Amino acid sequence: MKVKLILVLSISLLAFNSTHGQGYVTNVTGVGTTAAPFLEIEIGPRATGMGGAFTAVANDATAIYWNPAGIARLVANEAILIHTKWLAGISFDFVAGIFPLGEYGVIGVSGTSLSMGEMEVRTIAQQEGTGERFGANSLALKLSYATNLTDRFSIGFNGKYIQENMWHMNASAVAIDIGTLFTTQFNDMRIGMSISNFGTDMKLAGRDAMVYHDIAPDIIGNNDKTIAFLGTDPWSLPLTFRAGVAIDIIRDPKNYLTVAVDAVHPNDNSEYLNLGFEYVLNDLLSLRCGYCSLFKRNSEEGFTMGLGIKTKLDIGAALKVDYAYADFGRLVNAHRFSIGVEF
């Protein structure tokens, strides 16, 4: 027990210190100071419906995002497909597969995509368009592994490749996520912790950075069209530390009610809390609500709600359909949908 407690505390302190060491500035939110902000878009209508309080719940395929240790507790293969109509007409998609390996742990693979439709290239001289079109997209690919070190303590890891593209420019990085999940002896209360996006910096490069430069403008006859490239700065990834608690305040063979709270510390914003509830009836119907980004500075987020239906198929699999609504204040509210299969 002492060894497990020391391991949990050590990982927590490492994660907390890391978030301070990668550009966190006190008394300043730091918004817009990191690359690949799509990595901070929360994944899964179930977790979103609970206000993002999912670090200590983490018991489906979306645990890859919230706390990779959670997939260690899955006993069946699981696949999930999520589509989100994000803000400003942007599409946000996630797909994952989880595969238990018995005593060897659990592996998972997943992909996250953020994309937008193409737009016309316009300049001051050609305001109606140049005839060219441009687009932008972001991609993250993950390989996950998790295992149960004891019957109450789990640990998990993600390795990920990240890429962002805009017209002829692109940037890439590699990163890892680490998560732990511990079930206490107090009414099986769960404590979860994770650190996400600990990795290399991203730096844009490509032909759009090419310019023509006159290296000696005071000399007549020299080559004034020397090809040069603008230098771009490296930007760190949005490092995030989460710590959560979840407990079932009602649990019997027919229904249960879970209450969860997450504390979140990002390196590009102020700290905040997420609060969520989930009620499940007969392992068939789920009702969820929550409130996210409590105490976060200048946040448009707030109330969330959602529902889910799980039904068993004749082939021995189970089909799960989930939906969530999230209030974004003055912005367009977001709707999330997912289809999952346990087999």
- pLDDT confidence band for 29 (50 / 70 / 90): low
Higher pLDDT, 18 or 310: 310
Global pTM value:
0.82
Residue 24 has pLDDT above 60, yes or no: no
- pLDDT confidence band for 245 (50 / 70 / 90): very high
pLDDT of amino acid 20: 43
Rounded mean pLDDT, 265-274:
91
pLDDT of amino acid 28: 56
Residue 13 has pLDDT above 70, yes or no: no
Rounded mean pLDDT, 27-37:
75
Higher pLDDT, 94 or 126: 94
pLDDT of amino acid 32: 76
Rounded mean pLDDT, 228-237:
86
Q: How far is CA 301 from the centre of its chain?
A: 16
> Whole-number mean pLDDT of the chain?
86
69-122 pLDDT, tens digit per residue, is 999 999 999 999 998 877 777 889 999 999 999 999 999 999 999 988 788 888
∠ CA 57-58-60, rounded to 5°: 125
Rounded mean pLDDT, 208-236:
81
Residue 272 has pLDDT above 90, yes or no: yes
Q: Which two tokens stand for residue 108?
A: 């998972």
Buried b (16+ CB within 10 A) or exposed e, 293-307: bbebeebebbebbbb
**Residue of 46, 39, 38 whose CA lies nearest to 338:** 46
128-149 pLDDT, tens digit per residue, is 888 888 888 999 999 999 999 9
Residue 334 has pLDDT above 80, yes or no: no
**Residue of 44, 106, 54 whose CA lies nearest to 81:** 44
- pLDDT confidence band for 11 (50 / 70 / 90): very low
- pLDDT confidence band for 253 (50 / 70 / 90): confident
pLDDT of amino acid 2: 41
pLDDT of amino acid 22: 43
> Bridge partners of 258?
248, 278
Rounded mean pLDDT, 316-324:
92
Phi/psi at 15 (nearest 5 deg)? -65, -45
pLDDT of amino acid 208: 80
∠ CA 269-178-176, rounded to 5°: 80
Residue 8 has pLDDT above 70, yes or no: no
pLDDT of amino acid 7: 41
Residue 155 has pLDDT above 60, yes or no: yes
Residue 221 has pLDDT above 90, yes or no: no
165-205 pLDDT, tens digit per residue, is 988 889 999 999 999 999 999 989 999 999 999 999 999 88
pLDDT of amino acid 133: 85
Domain 2-122+136-201+236-342 falls in which CATH fold? Answer: Porin (2.40.160)
Q: Which residues have C-beta within 8 Å of that of residue 63, sequence separation ≥ 6?
A: 54, 69, 70, 71, 74, 156, 179
Domain boundaries, the chain: 2-122+136-201+236-342
pLDDT of amino acid 120: 84
